[in-house]
Amino acid sequence: MKSTKTATININLVPKDPFFETLLGRGLKWALSAGRYIVMFTELIVVLSFVTRFYLDRQVTDLNRDIFQKEAVIGSYGDFEQEVRDVQERLDQYQQIEQEGNIVDTFPSLAEVIPSGVELEELVIYPEKVALKGAVSSQKSLNVLINNLQISKDFHSIVVSNIESESSQSSGFSFQLTAQTQEVVTQKAVKKTNTVKSK
């Protein structure tokens, strides 16, 4: 007995549209089949844009909050800076007044220690010292001047920087010296004072 074979027959009762066989038809068919992927890709781009916009808005909000806080801190520093400037200005005024007072007080003190026979050619008064340049008629007058400066309570640390004879025929001398108007307390002296107090 021979075996029977079945054959599959596909019958398409819908006739093919000849339009889709044309170049325009094939292009339209491809666009319709690929269009859904384009739509899905476009929707994905829109969703990503929305998420990115939400993230960036949050970043901008946090940044504005940080800027506001830092502005407040900077504003408080501005008040502190103004106070520091006011204090510095007062200190400058105090130092200027102190310097003027030092200059005023120095003239009477110099008048007391400068003996006769001393002629000042130059006098410079600094906040903490005086510089004298002049001439003396004799060695004795110069010795008296230096001695008076050393024993005066208004002058300290006398330094004679130059002594020159004016001429071979004259007994006079020209001199330059400096003297501190404020006593300089060395670190060693301060340490010694603290040691004595601790005992």
pLDDT in tens, 17-65: 666 677 777 777 777 777 778 878 888 999 999 889 988 998 999 999 9
- Collapsing DSSP states into helix, strand and coil, what is residue 153? coil
CA nearest neighbour of 154 among 182, 118, 125, 124 = 182
**Which residues on neighbouring strands pair with residue 118, listed in sequence order?**
136
Q: What angle do CA 178, 183, 184 make, to 5 degrees?
A: 90
Fold entry, domain 114-187: Gyrase A; domain 2 (3.30.1360)
pTM of the full structure? 0.43
Query: For the CA atoms of 25, 28, 34, 40, what is the dihedral angle to 10 degrees?
Result: -160
The full length of the chain comes to 199
Q: Write down the domain spans for the chain.
A: 34-106, 114-187
**Which residues on neighbouring strands pair with residue 125, listed in sequence order?**
130
pLDDT in tens, 125-156: 887 888 999 999 888 888 999 999 999 888 88
The radius of gyration of the chain's CA atoms, rounded to the nearest angstrom, is 51
